[in-house]
Structure formats: structure tokens, C-alpha cells
Amino acid sequence: SRTPAPNPEVEALIRDKAAEKGIAPRAIGADEIIERTLYPMINEGAKILEEGIAARASDIDVVWVNGYGFPVGKG
């Protein structure tokens, strides 16, 4: 099942560790989540092209769609 199952012990541990490091909880918006997940993949794709591992950007697109399950319509 993909239904979330929150664990109060884990949540408490996360809160405690964040407090130890002086990290205040904050809301993270959808745009920030997209940036944090996609930008590293885009940068890695650029490195793969630069190193000659992939011949074309479209080769990387194929991996994203078929390997990672990236939505074709979001390309």
C-alpha cells in the first residue's frame, strides 16, 4: 500500500535532531520540492553529455522516461 503510515517515534527523533542542529521546521512548497529533485538530475544529465557517456540529450530522455518513470508529458 502507498498509504502513509506516520510513526510518532520517528517524527520525535527527527524533531529532536533538527532542534539539536538549530533547524527550525518550515513549510516546503511544491516548487521547492521540484527544484530540489529535478535540478540534480538535470546537472547529472549535463555531465553525462559532457563526458560523452550519452551521445544526445534525447538518450537521457529515454532513460528518464523508461528507467525512472518520468512522465512523458512533463519533458
CA distance 32 to 43: 16
- What tens digit of pLDDT does each residue of 25-49 get? 999 999 999 999 999 999 999 999 9
CA angle 31, 59, 68 (to 5 degrees): 50
**Cell match 542542529: residue?**
21
CA distance 7 to 4: 9
CA distance 16 to 23: 10
User: Does position 71 have pLDDT exceeding 90, yes or no?
Assistant: no
Averaged pLDDT of the chain = 92
